[in-house]
C-alpha cells in the first residue's frame, strides 16, 4: 500500500459534501456499527505494508494508534479535522518527502468488541477513509489498562516497512492514550484478535525492545483525559520510552505535535523553526506544541552538543532514526 498522492482539494470536497448532506466523517461508527469494520480488522492479517513505489521511491512509515475508550473517543475526530495540517507540514515544509500514514485504534482485549483496529499505510486520501471506518466504541475495562501491548505486538510482528528493510531507517509510531498497557501480551488474545498460534505470552518490556528496532515510538498523553494526571501512568510509560512520552495540553494540537516531532527527529527543523511554520499556516497550536516538545528538544540539543565534543557519548536515551541492519 502507499501509492498515490494526498490532495487537500479532495479532502475539502468530501468535507463540504458531508456538511451539505449532514453526513458524519465517522459514518460507520455514528451509523450504529457495533463491530470492527472489515477493512480494519486485524484478524488473519499477515502484514500491513509500507512499500516503495514509483510515486514514493523512499517511503517513510508513520503509524498513529489511539485509544477510543472513554474520554479518548474525541482523539480520532481531532485527527480527522486537522489531517490537512499534518500532511501540509510534513510535505510542504519538507519534513518528510514520502510519508505513508496508518491510523488505528486500541481498546481492551479483555472486554471490548473491537480491541484492535488497524488501517493500511496510505499516501493519499485513503488515510482519511480509514479514519472514517474506525468504530468509536467507548467501553474499556475500568481498571486503568488498555491493550496497547496488543497493538505493539501487531506493529512489531505484522508490519513490513521498506524504510527499515531497505534502508535501515526506523518508521514512526505514535500511540495516544491515558492508560497503562497490560504487563504482557497474552497468547490467547493474540490468537483471538490477530489469529495464528502464538507460542507464549510476551512481556511488554521485551516487546518494546523488539518494536523499537523497527520504529521510533512515542506515547502522547492528552490533558483532559481521565487519567492524564495520574503519576503511575506517567511513570509506567516513561520507564518504557523516557523522553518520548509527550504531554499535550490541547488535544486539538495533536496533528501539529506529531508533525513537529517527526520534523525534529528527521533533523529537518529545530523547535523554533517548527513553531514559526505553525504561525505561517495560521495554526494556534504553537504554545501547546512548544510545551509538549520542550523536553524532547532539550534532549535533542544535548545530544548534538555531546556529539560535537571529543570523548563524550550521547546523553539521550531516545532512539535514533537510522539503525544498522
| pLDDT tens for each residue of 262-307 | 999 999 999 999 999 999 999 999 999 999 999 888 877 776 665 6
**pLDDT at residue 5, rounded to an integer:** 87
Which range is least confidently modeled, 15-19, 22-26, 299-303?
299-303
| CB 158, CB 200: distance < 8 Å | no
Mean pLDDT of the region 44-72:
92
Q: What is the SS3 assignment for 69-99?
A: CHHHHHHHHHHHHHHHHHHHHHHHCCCCCCE
On the question of pLDDT at 138 being above 70, the answer is yes
Predicted confidence (pLDDT) per residue in 140-192, tens digit: 555 789 999 999 999 999 999 999 999 999 999 999 998 999 999 999 999 99
pLDDT, one tens digit per residue, over 67-106 is 888 767 778 888 888 898 899 999 999 999 999 999 999 9
Sequence length of the chain is 325
Nearest CA to 200 out of 209, 213, 188, 212 is that of 188
Give the mean pLDDT of 216-238: 83
Residue pair 244/318 in contact (Cβ under 8 Å)? The answer is: yes
> What's residue 238's pLDDT?
94
Given 3-state DSSP classes, what are the helix, strand and coil percentages for the chain, each rounded to the nearest 5?
Answer: 45, 15, 40
Architecture of domain 8-307: 3-Layer(aba) Sandwich (3.40)
Q: What is the mean pLDDT of residues 303-317?
A: 55
Domain coordinates in residue numbering, the chain: 8-307
Whether pTM > 0.85 for this model: the answer is: yes
Amino acid at each position: 500500500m502507499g501509492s498515490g498522492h494526498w490532495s487537500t482539494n479532495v479532502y475539502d470536497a468530501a468535507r463540504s459534501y458531508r456538511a451539505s448532506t449532514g453526513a458524519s466523517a465517522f459514518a460507520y461508527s455514528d451509523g450504529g456499527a457495533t463491530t470492527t469494520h472489515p477493512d480494519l480488522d486485524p484478524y488473519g492479517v499477515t502484514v500491513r505494508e509500507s512499500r516503495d513505489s514509483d510515486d514514493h521511491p523512499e517511503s517513510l512509515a508513520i503509524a498513529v494508534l489511539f485509544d477510543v475508550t472513554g474520554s479518548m473517543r474525541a482523539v480520532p475526530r481531532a485527527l480527522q479535522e486537522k489531517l490537512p495540517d499534518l500532511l501540509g507540514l510534513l510535505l510542504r515544509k519538507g519534513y518528510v518527502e514520502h510519508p505513508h500514514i496508518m491510523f488505528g485504534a486500541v481498546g481492551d482485549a479483555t472486554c471490548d468488541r473491537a480491541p484492535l483496529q488497524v488501517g493500511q499505510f496510505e499516501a493519499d486520501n485513503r488515510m482519511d477513509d480509514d479514519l472514517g471506518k474506525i468504530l468509536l466504541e467507548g467501553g474499556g475495562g475500568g481498571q486503568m489498562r488498555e491493550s496497547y501491548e496488543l497493538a505493539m505486538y501487531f506493529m512489531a510482528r505484522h508490519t513490513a516497512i521498506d524504510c527499515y528493510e531497505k534502508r535501515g531507517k526506523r518508521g514512526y509510531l505514535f500511540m495516544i492514550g491515558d492508560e497503562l498497557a497490560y504487563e504482557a501480551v497474552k497468547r490467547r488474545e493474540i490468537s483471538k484478535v490477530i489469529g495464528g498460534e502464538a507460542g507464549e505470552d510476551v512481556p511488554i518490556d521485551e516487546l518494546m525492545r523488539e518494536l523499537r528496532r523497527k520504529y521510533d515510538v512515542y506515547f502522547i498523553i492528552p490533558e483532559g483525559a481521565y487519567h492524564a494526571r495520574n503519576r503511575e501512568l506517567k511513570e509506567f510509560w516513561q520507564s518504557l520510552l523516557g523522553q518520548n512520552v509527550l504531554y499535550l495540553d490541547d488535544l486539538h494540537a495533536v496533528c501539529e505535535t506529531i508533525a513537529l516531532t517527526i520534523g525534529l527527529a528527521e533533523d529537518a527543523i529545530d523547535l523554533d523553526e517548527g513553531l514559526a511554520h505553525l504561525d505561517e499556516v495560521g495554526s494556534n497550536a504553537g504554545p501547546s506544541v512548544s510545551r509538549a516538545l520542550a523536553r524532547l528538544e532539550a534532549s535533542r540539543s544535548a545530544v548534538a552538543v555531546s556529539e560535537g565534543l571529543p570523548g563524550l557519548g550521547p546523553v539521550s536515551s531516545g532512539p535514533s532514526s537510522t539503525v544498522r541492519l
